[in-house]
Amino acid sequence: MTKYIVNRLLGIIPTLLIIITLSFFIVRVAPGGPFATERNLPEVVKRNIEAKYHMDEPMIQQYGRYMFDILRGDLGPSFKYKDYDVNYYIANSLPKSIVLGSWAMLIALVFGISAGIIAAVKQNTWIDYASMGIAVIGISVPLFVIAPVLQLIFAMKLQWLPTSGWYTTGEGYKTIILPAVSLSFAYFANIARLTRSSMLDTLRSDYIRTAKAKGMKNSTIIFKHAMKGAMLPVISYLGPAFAGIITGSIVVEQIFRVPGLGKFFVQSSFNRDYTLIVGVVIVYSLILVFMNFLVDIVYAQLDPRITYK
């Protein structure tokens, strides 16, 4: 197992190298560039700027320079935001997105799994229909509708929570509630539906019938005998979902004024901000690859039939 873990972690390196290389060239091959504007710059100015960012060098030399910088942990300067470099923007926004995303995921997990189990156990009763109804709403109603509606109810009408902002001190925790709940909705819905269907499958399996024939209580059967098997599909969903949720969402960040990472994904593409694009791609893929690795480890812990060599 230790050997497997080491191998997998080492395997992350070539994966990342490929991703970095591909994204480095793809963004540069695409027409346009960070300094292309409506009005053409004077040739001299353009050449000066390009020289500053080493864009006058051959592509392969730029690539070598970039890779060398990355090895030293430097993601380079942003082409658009001149005040700081890419490292600074990511280091400042990623922790906020991780905090917000983790809370959202926690909410989604607790309510999603509970709702899924209850719906499965009480299949075809009003509880089942109610929780699956909410789940369908969660999947089909877009975030930019859910978020303002929550703001309207809990911030404007009831005045329980602030409409937006991001504070870390004192009453600051309150600012996180509404964005976390809004963000969790779609994930809650997916987890609830997954849990319900896999729990239903598990409860119909032969070994659950054996447990019943042994005279076990329903609650023991569900939590001791069915839970592990029913959680496997949910676990495999969680890997990519977690990577997505902690790298931020531009919709939630815009509506609740959260200084997260999500906006950089969108803005860097609009701006053709080469280094920032590759920077956020690296962050996202690193998290995704690591989450998938974690999922595999958890899988092996849950299911004894899976062994890694």
Q: Which of 189, 208, 206, 289 has its CA nearest to residue 242?
A: 289
Name which position in 152, 214, 223, 259 contacts other proteins (CB under 8 A): 214
Do 186 and 138 meet the contact criterion of CB atoms below 8 Å apart? yes
Do 181 and 107 meet the contact criterion of CB atoms below 8 Å apart? yes
- Rounded Cα distance between 108 and 189, Å, is 8
Asked if 1 touches other proteins (CB under 8 A), the answer is: no
Asked if 236 touches other proteins (CB under 8 A), the answer is: no
- Rounded Cα distance between 285 and 279, Å, is 10
Name which position in 96, 193, 225, 263 contacts other proteins (CB under 8 A): 225
Q: Which is nearer to other proteins, 158 or 213 (CB)?
A: 213
Asked if 122 touches other proteins (CB under 8 A), the answer is: no
For 215, the token pair is: 């005279």
- Rounded Cα distance between 34 and 28, Å, is 10
Asked if 219 touches other proteins (CB under 8 A), the answer is: no
Please, what is the minimum distance in Å from the beta carbon of residue 124 to other proteins?
8
Among 49-57, 140-148, 163-171, 210-218, which window interacts with other proteins (CB under 8 A)? 210-218
- Rounded Cα distance between 121 and 222, Å, is 9
Asked if 224 touches other proteins (CB under 8 A), the answer is: yes
Own/partner contacts of 82-88, CB < 8 Å, gap of 24 or more, are: 86/275, 86/276, 86/279, 87/279
Dihedrals phi, psi of 34, to nearest 5 degrees: -65, -25
Name which position in 8, 174, 228, 257 contacts other proteins (CB under 8 A): 228
Please, what is the minimum distance in Å from the beta carbon of residue 112 to other proteins?
21
Please, what is the minimum distance in Å from the beta carbon of residue 213 to other proteins?
4
Name which position in 100, 115, 120, 211 contacts other proteins (CB under 8 A): 211
Asked if 304 touches other proteins (CB under 8 A), the answer is: yes
Q: Which is nearer to other proteins, 52 or 214 (CB)?
A: 214
Q: In angstroms, what CA-CA distances link 135 with 113, 129, 131, 183, 194? A: 12, 10, 6, 14, 11
- Rounded Cα distance between 240 and 106, Å, is 15
Please, what is the minimum distance in Å from the beta carbon of residue 133 to other proteins?
22
Asked if 196 touches other proteins (CB under 8 A), the answer is: no
Q: Which is nearer to other proteins, 183 or 203 (CB)?
A: 203
Number of residues this chain uses to bind other proteins (CB under 8 A): 20
Asked if 205 touches other proteins (CB under 8 A), the answer is: yes
Q: Helix 262-270 crosses helix 86-121 at what angle (to 10 degrees)?
A: 130
Please, what is the minimum distance in Å from the beta carbon of residue 142 to other proteins?
38
Residue ranges that bind other proteins, judged by CB under 8 A? 205-207, 209-217, 224-225, 228-229, 302-305
